[in-house]
Structure 1
C-alpha cells in the first residue's frame, strides 16, 4: 500500500532523513520507534506532504505522491493525526469532527461520528463543549477521531501516547490495535516502543534519520539490543 524508497529531507542545509526505505502492506499496523530527535515526525510530515522531500520516492496505492500537495492527500486515502494533536480549541468537539469529514457531504458523516463516539464514549458526552476544555487524553482521542472521519485507507499516527497517563495510553493503544478489524492500515510513530510494538505487526527502528533495524514486532521486542536501548529492560 505504502512504499518509501531512499527518502531524504532537509531543514535548510541540514539533512535530517538519510535515505529511508519503508513499506506498509494493506491491513498492517506498522510502527516506527526511536528516541526523540530520530526523525520520526519528519518522516510522517514527508508522507503527509507538510515537509519537503529532497530525494527518494513515496508511492501510495500504486501512485507516486511526488508533487501532490498536502491538502489533496486525504482524498487519496492518506490522513494524519499529528504530534501535539493540533485540534481547534475554540470549536466544539463535534465541529472538530466534522472538519475531519471535509471531503464528504453525505449521510455517512453522521454514522462516522457515531462510530467515533462508540470508540471514545467521552467524546459523545463532550460533543457540544469547546475542545480546548478537554483533557490531554481526550484531545488525543479527538485528534484520532477527526483523522478517522476522513475515511482513510491508511492512517498516519504521530506520537499518540505523548504526555498521557498510563491508563489513557492503554486505551489509546487498544483503539489503535482495533483499527485493523475496521479495514484501516496504520503507520504509527512512537517513542513508547514497547506499547507500539505490542500492537504492531512489524516495526522499524530509527536513529538519527536512518532505519537501523526492522522486522516482525515480536522479534524486535525480543531483541536484546532493542530491549536495552528502547524498552528499558
Structure 2
C-alpha cells in the first residue's frame, strides 16, 4: 500500500533522513521505533507531504505521490494523526471531527462520526465539550478520530501514547488494534518500543536517520540488540 525508496530529507543544510527504504502492506500495523532524534517524525511528515523530500520516491497504492501536496494525499486515503495531537482546542469535539471530514458533504459523514464514537466511546459523551477541556488521553483519541473522518485506507500515527499515563496509553494502542480490524492499514511511530512491537506485524528500527534493522515484530522483540537498546530488557 505504501512504499518509500531512498528517501532523503532535512532542514536547511542538515540532512536528517539518509536514504530510507520502507514498505507497508495492506492490512498491516507496521511500527517505526527508535530514540529521540532518530528522524521518525520527519519521516512521517515527509510521507504525509507536510515536509519536502530532497531525494527518493513515495508511492501510495501504486501511485507516485512524492510531489503531491498533503491535501492530495489525504484525498487519496493517506492521513496522519500528528505528534502533539494538534486539535483545535477552541472548538468542540464534534466540530473537530467535522473538520476531519472536510472533503465530504455526503450522508456518510454522520455514519463516519458514529463509527468514531464506537471506537472511542468517551468522545460521544464529550461531543459538545470544548476540545481544550479534554484530558490528554481524550485529546489523543480525538486526534486519531479526526484523522479517521477523512476515510483513510492508511493511517500515519505519530507518538500516540506520548505523555499519557500507562493505562491511557494502553487504551490508545488497543484502539489502534481495533482500527486494524476495521480494515485500516497503520504506520505507527512510537517511542515505547515494547508496546508498539507488541501490537505490530512488522517493525523498523531507526538510528540517526537510517533504517538499522527491520523484520517481523516478534523477531525484533527477540533480538538481543533491540532488547538492550530499546526495550530495557
TM-score (norm 2): 0.99
Per-residue deviation, residues 126-182 of structure 1 (Å, max 9, x unmatched): 100110000110000000000001110000000000000000011111110121211
In structure 2, the residue matched to 1:185 is 185
State which drifts further: 61-70 or 130-139.
Answer: 61-70
Question: Cα distance, 1:66 vs. partner?
Answer: 2.2
Give, in whole Å, the separation in 2 of the partners of 1:125 and 1:156: 26
In structure 1, the residue matched to 2:136 is 136
In structure 1, the residue matched to 2:204 is 204
Give, in whole Å, the separation in 1 of the partners of 2:217 and 2:72: 32
> 3-state SS of the aligned residue for 2:227?
helix
Matches within 5 A, 1:72-87: 72-87=72-87
In structure 1, the residue matched to 2:6 is 6
In structure 2, the residue matched to 1:32 is 32
Per-residue deviation, residues 171-215 of structure 1 (Å, max 9, x unmatched): 111110121211100000010000000100000000100000000
Equivalent pair of 2:119/2:178 in contact (CA under 8 Å): no
> 3-state SS of the aligned residue for 1:66?
coil
In structure 2, the residue matched to 1:169 is 169
Tell me, which stretches of 5 or more residues in structure 2 are unaligned? Answer: none
> 3-state SS of the aligned residue for 1:86?
coil
Tell me, which stretches of 5 or more residues in structure 1 are unaligned? Answer: none
In structure 1, the residue matched to 2:121 is 121
Give, in whole Å, the separation in 2 of the partners of 1:93 and 1:53: 33
State which drifts further: 94-103 or 117-126.
Answer: 117-126
- Corresponding pairs, count: 233
In structure 1, the residue matched to 2:49 is 49
Question: Cα distance, 1:29 vs. partner?
Answer: 0.5
